[in-house]
Structure formats: structure tokens, C-alpha cells
Chains A and B, each alone.
Chain A
Amino acid sequence: MEARSAEELLARAERAEAEKLRLITVHKDLELEFDLGNLLATDRNPPTGLRQRSGPGLEAQLRGLARDNVQLLINQLWQLPSERVEEAVVARLPEPSLRLPREKPLPKPRPLTRWQQFAQLKGIRPRKKTSLVWDEASKQWRRRWGYQRARDDTKEWLIEVPGGADPDEDQFAKRLQAKKERVARNELNRLRNIARAHKVQLPSQGGMHPTGYQSRAELGKAMQVAKVSTASVGRFQERLPKEKPPRGPGKKRQFQPNIGDFAAEKKSQLELIRVMNSKKPRMDVTRATNKQMREEDREEAAKKRKVAKGRGGKRKGRPLGPGGKGKGGPPGPGGKRKGRPPGLGGKKGQRQGGKRRK
């Protein structure tokens, strides 16, 4: 008797459960595939039920199919772990399982920064630091850096003047200045690392070097860059009287094409061979005259130096000798420089100028 009533109870409970679930159960031949991260469901069952091509019938069938599929998807979603966030029931979605192609290519690995390279070389590993430090002054645990930090340099009201420092120096201002410099250097290094990573050519700061020591070539380049950095790209910039136009980035050597004028090439080659074979030396008139002129200049300069040396040595004794020779007065008068290569004249001219004034 009891067994039967127990059985009946169980059967009734099962039926009640089935009733409850009837509204939400859907029967499908093949199970759907779910990708809950994308809220996606794929139904692989062939749509054999939808044979009707006509309008309203088809719509109703499609809707029926859709309703079944959506019911199954919703059943899955309701089974996910849910939590209450501000009076709304929120389900936590898993990661989307379907892989879709990326929009942009993978980012390239960044090159190591200077510190990272050094650390790798030396085998230095980052040491984990505690986030709080014991502060003796306030007798509590304070953070290592930031607001209300443990050893705050800026809050000191007394700084002892160190032994070797100037007593009138403002130590507080010195500290501030040092901090500013550190921050600026840090920022500079960070930007340099980024530029190195992107292989961007670092801007040359107008070609000038921060220390001021630059070679002649670098200064020339800086001057060229500055000239071109105008609105009309240097077209209306005046040049100094003796300044030559810049060489420009064009080709330094010109090559004839391989397959050109064969007759002309043959002629020039034969001419070359004839000249090489001839016994008499050839003379370039311009070069010869220039050489002669230079020789004459040098002789005159040598003579004048001897005269000036004699004179200078008699009048002023030893102290002036080295001083005068080095960086004399203003550079020598331009008369010496007419029609001569200025570089050559310049050197001698300076020395001359120093002596001539006396």
C-alpha cells in the first residue's frame, strides 16, 4: 500500500515537473551548438519542415523555427552563473569561442629599452618591493611613494647645509631644481626609448647639440636645415656674399647608361688610350696658373712672417709671444684674401693679423 502511494507520489511529482518544463522544452534531432560569448546558436538540422515557398505560410514557419531556436538559446543563457548588480540580474558570459579574423595585424614585439638590455646582460631580476614602509616620524605604515608617503623630502622644514657648500645657497631651491632635472631626464629617456622602438629618427633639435660642441660639418648641416625651415622652404633666404650654394642631396657621380651612344664611347676610349700612350705630358692651363699663384702667395706670406716676427720679438718680449700667435686680434684685412681660396688665406691671415696690429 505504502509502496504504491509512494510510487504514485513520485509519478505525480514527475508529471508536475514535466508540465513545468513543457513550456520551455523544445525537441530537436540534432543538438544546437552554442557560443554564449557571442550570444550565438547554430542549428544544424536541415530545414525540411520549411518546404512552403509561399509568403505567409513561410513566414509563420520561419517564425516557429526561430522561436524554438531562441528558446533553446535562452535556456542555455539562464543556466549561466548570475549575480545581482544594482537591482538587475546579470549573467556572466564565457569567452567567445568562435575565432574571427583580426582587424589589424599583430603588434610587433617592442625592442627592449636601454635599461632592459642592461639588466638582461647583467642578469638583474626585478625585486618585489613591499607596498607599505614603516615611517618612524609618524609611527605608522605609509606607502612607498605618492600621497602621504613615508620619507617625504619635500615636507622637511630644516635642511642642514652640507660641509662643502656655499652658506648663501638656497638648499630648498636646490632640491626642487634637482627634482625637476630628474623628471626631465626621465621624460627624455622615456621618449628616446619610444623613438627607438618606432625606429623614428629623433628630431635633431635644429641640428644643435645641447653641449654646444659641434664639428664644422654639423654646424653647416644645422645652418642648412635652419635655412630651409621657412614658410617658402628657403627660397627667399639671402646668402652671405661669399657663401656657396649648398651641395644638395643629388647624385655625386654621374654614370653613363650601359647601352648608349656606341660611336661616342668608342671615340672617347680611343682618345684616352692615345693620351696614355703619348710621351709628352699634357698641361691643364687653369690648374697650372692656380698652382703658380698659390706658390707665389706662400712665398710672400713666408717673407712677411719673418719680417713681422723680427719686429714683434724686438718690441715686446716673451709674454706676448705665445698669446699673439694663438688667437690674435680681429682677423686679418680682406686685402690679402682677394681671389685666393679663403681657407688658406684665413689661417695665415689670422696669425698675420695678430702681428700686424703692432
Chain B
Amino acid sequence: MSDNCGCNMEYKKEYLKNITRPFEDQTSLEFFSKKSDCSLFMFGCHNKKRPNNLIVGRMYDYHVLDMIELGIEKFVSLKDIKNSKCPEGTKPMLIFAGDAFDVSEDYRRLKSLLIDFFRGPTVPNIRLAGLEYVLHFTALDGKIYFRTYKLLLKKSGCRTPRIELEEMGPSLDLIMRRTYLASDDLYKLSMKLPKALKPKKKKNISHDTFGATYGRIHMQKQDLSKLQTRKMKGLKKRPAEKLTDNQENKPKKMKRRKIDSI
């Protein structure tokens, strides 16, 4: 567990030798979280009934939000794999493989919990050469394979390098045991965004289900009789037709035209 914490997180507080049962009684966990002002926790224990137990969880407002118990089947520690490691505190890349991570609610929460745990601080920029290691989670046949690889960038023909991976760091085979997931409304409450962060809605722009964007223009009232339309020469009124029309309406004008033509 210290491997996990050590290589992945910068901000952690250790409390050793505390015998509690997180699934039965959460008060001690909440007390520790309040004391150290931490919201993520990892608890390891070992019983005959549940050997090699690891409980990963997070808190909201110092109360337990989600807690998932994972059993460790196979464990290879940092020290067992002998090669160069990357410095502590670098932001890892996370990859989740397998469709199981979307199928059940448990797996979805587990995925979000693991992301929360391992993602590190949110940064606006990242040095491309500084992407050092990858945490790869594969869900296969009820087991979750957690592997850590170090990144080696090789030359390829173009700008983007070719990737080679080298195994480094802890690798675990996990089985999901018990879960304690927050109720829907508590989860919704914890996901609430403050008003300032909500994306601002642009007025008069709407989107279609197919992705088409529609805009709205507001115009003043127009007099459609005076509208300037395209001139279709074929539909233009011939002089003879004009004469018959104007005879009824404006006899004076007609007279004037006649004089002009002469």
C-alpha cells in the first residue's frame, strides 16, 4: 500500500496500526479525515475470511461517500521489479480497458474512484517530454488487472513518437468484494457545480439532436409589397399588358407617355 501511495500521490497522511472495520463503523475514518483534512483514503487489512483486503474510498464533507473493497490476488511491488523508476509526484496517464467499466454501476463508480485517486493535480499545461508513466486498468472476467508501465518514446517517421512500454512499479490483480456506494441524491449533491463554473449559455443559439446549430435573428417588421426581389426578365410585364392595366387606373400618365415617345 505504501508503494501505491508513494509512487502515485504527493499528498498523503499515514495512520498505521489502527484496527477498525470501515464497513461496519465509519466514525473512525471520518475522524481521521477531519483531523488530517483529507478526503481520499486507502485502508488495508487481512482476515482469515477476507485475505489481503484493500479498501479504497472517498469522502464528501468528511462523511464517507463511496467505499469499495478490493481483494488482492497477486501483488508485485516496486522493489521486486528492478529497473529505473520515475520521480514521485509526476502526473500519470490513466487508461481503462474493457467494457465492464461501463456495464455495471459498481464498476463505473470504481472507475471514477480510481481516477480521483490517481489522477494528481489538475494542470493547464503539460511538458510533453515529462509524461513518464501509465496506469493501465483492465477489467476481464471479474478481475481487474492493474499495471504500471514506464513510457519510452522512440523515434518514428513523424512528429509523434512511437511508444514502448516497460513494466515498472506495483502490479495488482484485484477482485471487487463489497461496496458501499453513496445514495443517488448524495452523489448528485456532491457533483453539484457552483454557478460560476457552469458553461454560459449563449442566447439565440440552439442545437439539434443531430448536431446542427440553429441561430435566431430578430428583425423589424417589413412591408412585403416594397420588397426588392430578384428580377426575372421572363416574368416582366410586356408594354401591351402594362397599357391595359394602366388604362383602368391612371389615364393621365398614359397620355404623358405618348407625348414623350414622339
* Same assembly: yes
B65 to chain A, nearest CB (A): 6
Stretch at the interface among A67-75, A129-137, A171-179, A295-303: A67-75
Query: Within the assembled complex, what's the spacing in Å between the Cα atoms of A321 and B160?
Result: 107
CB-defined contacts of A105 to chain B, threshold 8 Å: 60-61, 189-190
Q: Tell me the chain A residues, 191-221 only, with Cβ under 8 Å from chain B.
A: none
Interface string of A78-120 (1 = CB under 8 A from B): 1100100100111111001011111111110000000000000
Choose among A42, A59, A63, A101 the residue that contacts B58 (Cβ–Cβ < 8 A).
Answer: A101
Stretch with Cβ within 8 A of B (4 or more), from A15-23, A229-237, A327-335, A337-345: A15-23
Q: Does B41 contact A (CB under 8 A)?
A: no
Contact between chains at B127 and A38 (CB < 8 Å): no
**Residues 137-149 of chain B, each 1 if its beta carbon lies under 8 Å from chain A, else 0:** 0111000010101
A66 B165 Cβ-Cβ under 8 A: yes
Tell whether, in the assembled complex, residue A77 and residue B131 are in contact, meaning their CB atoms are under 8 Å apart: yes
Query: What residues on A are CB-neighbors of B39 within 8 Å?
Result: 103-104
State the CA gap A129–B117 with chains docked (Å). Answer: 47
Q: Are A24 and B138 in contact (CB under 8 A)?
A: no
Instruction: Let me know if B97 and A65 touch, CB within 8 A.
Output: yes
Contact present for A66 and B129 (CB under 8 Å): no
Residues of B within 8 A of A90 (CB): 125-128
Q: Tell me whether A92 and B158 are in contact (CB under 8 A).
A: no
A20 and B128 form a contact (CB under 8 A):
no
**A222 CB within 8 Å of chain B:** no
Q: Return the contact of A40 from the options B94, B149, B158, B161 (Cβ within 8 A).
A: B94
Find the B residue at minimum CB distance from A109: B195
Q: Specify the main secondary structure of chain B where it touches its partner.
A: mixed
Contact B97 A43 (CB under 8 A): yes
**B5: interface (CB < 8 Å):** no
A139–B183 CA distance with the chains assembled, in angstroms: 68
Query: A89-B128, A101-B191, A103-B39 given. 11 additional CB < 8 A pairs?
Result: A39-B91, A39-B126, A40-B115, A42-B101, A46-B98, A47-B140, A65-B138, A78-B161, A93-B124, A98-B115, A106-B194
Q: List, in ascending order, chain B residues with CB within 8 A of A71's CB.
A: 162-163
On chain A, the residues within 8 Å of B94 by CB distance are 38-41
B123 contacts the other chain (CB 8 A): yes
* Chain A residue nearest in CB terms to B145: A62
Residues of A with Cβ closer than 8 Å to B? 19-24, 37-47, 50, 58-59, 62-63, 65-67, 69-71, 73-75, 77-79, 82, 85, 88-93, 96, 98-107
- Total number of A-B contacts with CB less than 8 angstroms? 167
Pairs across A and B, CB under 8 Å, 26 listed: A20-B156, A38-B119, A38-B122, A40-B96, A41-B94, A43-B95, A43-B97, A47-B138, A58-B145, A62-B138, A65-B97, A65-B138, A67-B163, A67-B165, A69-B136, A70-B134, A70-B165, A73-B93, A74-B153, A74-B160, A77-B126, A82-B128, A89-B129, A93-B124, A98-B112, A101-B58
Residues on the A chain within 8 Å of B65, using CB = 101
Q: Is the CB of B125 within 8 A of A101?
A: no
Q: Which residue of B lies closest to A50 (CB)?
A: B140
Q: Which residue of A lies closest to B76 (CB)?
A: A59
Q: Is the CB of A39 within 8 A of B125?
A: no
B136 in complex: contacting residue of A58, A62, A79, A101, CB < 8 Å: A62
> Which of A22, A62, A91, A107 lies at the interface centre, i.e. has the most chain B CB atoms within 10 A of its CB?
A62
| B176: Cβ under 8 A from any A Cβ | no
CB distance from B214 to the nearest CB of A (A): 24
CA of A82 to CA of B191, assembled, Å: 31
Q: How distant is A83 from chain B, measured CB to nearest CB, in Å?
A: 8
Among B60, B147, B156, the residue within 8 A (CB) of A66 is B147
What is the CB-to-nearest-CB distance from B97 to chain A, in angstroms, rounded to a whole number?
4
B115 near A100 with CB under 8 A, answer yes
CA distance A171 to B149 in the complex (A): 75
CA distance A180 to B189 in the complex (A): 47
Interface 1/0 per residue, B11-40 and A, CB below 8 Å: 000000000000000000000000000010
Q: A66-B149, A69-B97, A101-B190 are in contact. Are A78 and B160 (CB under 8 A)?
A: yes
How distant is A98 from chain B, measured CB to nearest CB, in Å? 7
When C-beta atoms are compared, the residue in chain A nearest to B94 turns out to be A40
Chain B residues with CB below 8 A from A44, complex form = 99, 102
Contacting residues, chain A, for B134 (C-beta < 8 A) = 66, 70
Q: How far, in angstroms, from A39 to B97 measured CA to CA in the complex?
A: 14
B159 within 8 A of A: yes
B97 near A23 with CB under 8 A, answer: no
Q: A106–B147 Cα gap in the complex (Å)?
A: 36
Cβ contact within 8 Å between A92 and B125:
yes
Query: Which residues on A sit within 8 Å (CB–CB) of B98?
Result: 43, 46-47
On chain A, the residues within 8 Å of B130 by CB distance are 88
Q: By the criterion CB–CB under 8 Å, are B58 and A21 in contact?
A: no
- Residues of B contacting A70 in the complex (Cβ-Cβ under 8 angstroms): 93, 95, 134, 136, 149, 151, 163, 165
Known: A63-B167, A106-B192. A37 touches B158 (CB 8 A): no
Beta-carbon contact of A23 and B119 below 8 Å: no
Q: CA A129 – CA B175 in complex, angstroms?
A: 64
CA distance A101 to B98 in the complex (A): 23
Q: How far is the CB of B113 from chain A (nearest CB, A)?
A: 9
The yes or no answer to B78 lying at the interface (CB within 8 A) is no
**B165→A63 contact, CB < 8 A:** yes
Q: In the bound complex, how far is the Cα of B113 from the Cα of A101, in angstroms? A: 9
Residues of A within 8 A of B156 (CB): 20, 23-24
Q: What's the least CB distance linking B247 to chain A, in Å?
A: 67
Q: How far is the CA of A65 from the CA of B147 in the complex (A)?
A: 11
Docked complex: B151-183 residues within 8 A CB-CB of A: 151, 153, 156-165, 167
Most buried by B among A65, A75, A98: A65
